[in-house]
Structure 1
């Protein structure tokens, strides 16, 4: 078990499941790649290994991005938002970030134009 720095742990606002959403972004282009979930252990592993580690809500286990697919995420920086309830993980993505094989999980069809209201 990897222990998260207490000063960081104190700032986190977690869901009732003990998780914090982690928005993952390509460090040099700003491209949003995916959304993952981290608990204290996953965040501590990410910060100490430099490899993005998440908590799988469906499998109920930790997973290191790219461990089986080879599509690794090399962590460049991690930031906590002003409310302490969301992480921004900037990575150097190798290959696809999405389990579908797409570069980003946000490549799906556009939902439609946004109409501004007056």
Structure 2
């Protein structure tokens, strides 16, 4: 039987983000215009709050253990236009307008390769 908190999380109007044991939510960033998936990253409470306050996508760097604003050094920021929240509020789809390539490699999307017959091949931009 679902607890009232679970019912509110799943069908109510309150934003009750459900962070994992590691303190993170998954964020899937999608181009607001083309709907192309640009990147997947993780948000902790600090990153979520910074994103909501500034309108720029912020994430938690698991490798560095720190907050980072996407594009803070490259200028390729992600301006948030809409945030969709999944049913149990442990994942977000962030519709954003990219100011440049979303991937640190310079590719438009981090998903620039497809798996074909056990090998990776570059997808045409």
Q: Secondary structure at the match of 1:90?
A: strand
Name the one with the larger strand percent: 2
Structure 1 consecutive aligned stretches of length 4 or more whose deviation exceeds 2 Å: none
Instruction: Give the TM-score normalised by structure 2.
Output: 0.79
Alignment of structure 1 residues 101-112 onto 2, 5 Å: 101-108=106-113, 110-112=114-116
Deviations 1:48-101 (A, max 9, x none): 110111000001110001110111111111121112111111100011101111
Alignment of structure 1 residues 26-105 onto 2, 5 Å: 26-105=31-110
Q: CA RMSD in A?
A: 1.2
The gaps in structure 1 that reach 5 residues or longer are 1-6, 114-118
1:28 deviation in Å? 1.1
Count residues with an aligned counterpart.
Answer: 104
Q: Secondary structure at the match of 1:111?
A: strand
CA distance in 2, matches of 1:95, 1:49: 18
Q: Which has the larger radius of gyration?
A: 2
Q: Secondary structure at the match of 1:25?
A: strand
CA distance in 1, matches of 2:116, 2:40: 21
